[in-house]
């Protein structure tokens, strides 16, 4: 059975940026806004984050591997966190992203890409 990802947002302002192309364009410009809308749609349509290819999803190198960054272009990325009450973990104690079906968008950050 196929289930799409469930997305939540850190706050209302971030939700507005991620869902309103005009707000995103005003804040980041049209190219980043377009990429943001596309990445949010990709995440929403995916069964797990492993099904998202665009934007080169990269697991954080923190000890828990509890966040993922996805490139938007023009030096920006979207940051996701696992949003399970009890996050699925691997034998090594890191988030098992292949089993994550709920994410929270934490922010849009400047990056080196």
- Containing structural domain, residue 10: 6-110
1 is a domain residue: no
Give the ranges where the chain is alpha helix by DSSP (H).
12-19, 21-28, 30-45
**Dist CA 108 CA 92 (whole Å):** 28
87 is a domain residue? yes
Residue with tokens 């929270």: 104
Q: 75 lies in a domain?
A: yes
Cα-to-chain-centroid distance, residue 47 = 13
How far out from the chain centre does Cα 56 lie?
11
Q: Per the domain annotation, does 48 fall within a domain?
A: yes
Average of per-residue pLDDT across 74-98: 90
Q: Is residue 28 part of a domain?
A: yes
- CATH number of the structural domain spanning residue 56: 3.30.2310.20
Structural domain contains residue 42: yes
The pLDDT, as a whole number, for residue 2 is 58
The whole-number average pLDDT for the span 15-34 is 95
Domain annotation covers residue 31: yes
Provide the domain count of the chain.
1
Q: Report the predicted TM-score, pTM, of the whole model to 2 decimal places.
A: 0.88
Give the number of other CB atoms < 10 A from CB of residue 29.
13
The helix/strand/coil state of 33 is helix
User: Would you say residue 64 has pLDDT above 70?
Assistant: no
Residue 14 lies in a domain: yes
């Amino acid at each position: 059975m196929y289930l799409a990802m469930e997305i939540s947002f850190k706050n209302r302002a971030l939700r507005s940026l991620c869902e309103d192309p005009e707000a995103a364009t005003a804040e980041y410009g049209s190219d980043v806004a377009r990429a943001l809308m596309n990445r949010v749609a990709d995440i929403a349509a995916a069964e797990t984050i492993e099904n998202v290819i665009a934007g080169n999803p990269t697991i954080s190198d923190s000890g828990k591997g509890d966040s993922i960054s996805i490139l938007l272009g023009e030096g920006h990325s979207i940051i996701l966190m696992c949003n399970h009450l009890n996050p699925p973990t691997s034998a090594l104690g890191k988030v098992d992203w292949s089993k994550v079906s709920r994410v929270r968008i934490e922010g849009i950050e400047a990056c080196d890409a």
